[in-house]
């Protein structure tokens, strides 16, 4: 079945540091890949997505590239802000399959 | 506009009690999903509705779990004879389209259920 493995946290960075959160997946075919973010006290929100190999999703300075050869979808941001402190979830949905399969989540704390 | 809302936000139940969790999706959204999120884990799929039809209930952990969406809008997740292992956050999500694999799901804030 489908599965997602993401870097375990927590991750603590200083403001303006570079962020990488690793995510790898197992799925048949070409799933759609997502990063969701959960800010304190709020519901999950879609951060970015990519639907085919080599696509790059981007939003709010975050980027992730769909790498079929390494089955990865690592999240990156060049310069994090305190307001980026949240839990980040990598997720996938299989072809013709609406269900999201999530990783365990990575807690990011950015200190001023 | 209003997002997905869920009620109650917190529920404490004694073992053996029945509970009902409500989800109000975004108006006009065709698809509705329920997920269960245990502490320190990612959400796990429970069930999926397209309008009023429950098309997939493969994630429901036991026959104590029951979900309905009778008019294709509000949905209720019912758990009978709650057990301690049912303690989790229950998330509802809705999506505008029918079962697209790349469609965005909009999540509610969740209901945190604690079974004592």
Cβ-count burial A82-108 (b if 16+ within 10 Å, e if not): eebbbbbbbbbbbeebbbbbbbbbbeb
pLDDT of residue A98: 80
- Is the pLDDT at A95 greater than 80? The verdict is no
CB–CB contact B33 A99 (8 Å): yes
Which residue in the set B41, B48, B107 is minimally distant from A104, CB to CB? Answer: B41
Mean predicted confidence (pLDDT) in B75-95: 97
- Is the pLDDT at B24 greater than 70? The verdict is yes
Which residue in the set A4, A44, A99 is minimally distant from B48, CB to CB? Answer: A99
CB–CB contact B102 A49 (8 Å): yes
Cβ contacts (< 8 Å) between A94 and chain B: which residues?
A: 101
- Is the pLDDT at B99 greater than 80? The verdict is no
Among B43, B56, B103, B9, residue whose Cα is nearest residue B67: B56
């Amino acid at each position: 079945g489908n599965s997602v493995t993401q870097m375990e946290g927590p991750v603590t960075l200083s403001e303006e540091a570079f962020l990488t959160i690793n995510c790898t997946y197992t799925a048949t075919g070409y799933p759609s890949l997502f990063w969701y973010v959960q800010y304190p006290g709020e519901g999950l929100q879609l951060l970015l997505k990519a639907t085919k190999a080599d696509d790059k999703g981007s939003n709010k300075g975050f980027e992730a590239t769909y790498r079929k050869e390494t089955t990865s979808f690592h999240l990156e941001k060049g310069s994090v802000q305190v307001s980026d402190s949240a839990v980040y979830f990598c997720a996938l949905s299989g072809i013709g399959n609406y269900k999201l399969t999530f990783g365990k989540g990575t807690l990011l704390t950015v200190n001023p | 506009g209003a997002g997905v809302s869920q009620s109650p936000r917190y529920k404490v139940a004694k073992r053996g009690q029945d509970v009902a969790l409500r989800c109000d999706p975004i108006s006009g959204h065709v698809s509705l999903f329920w997920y269960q999120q245990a502490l320190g884990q990612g959400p796990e799929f429970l069930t999926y509705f397209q309008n009023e039809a429950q098309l997939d209930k493969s994630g429901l952990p036991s026959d104590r779990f029951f979900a309905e969406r009778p008019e294709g809008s509000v949905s209720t997740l019912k758990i009978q004879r709650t057990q301690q292992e049912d303690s989790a956050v229950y998330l509802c999500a809705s999506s505008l389209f029918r079962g697209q694999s790349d469609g965005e799901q909009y999540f509610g804030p969740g209901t945190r259920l604690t079974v004592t």
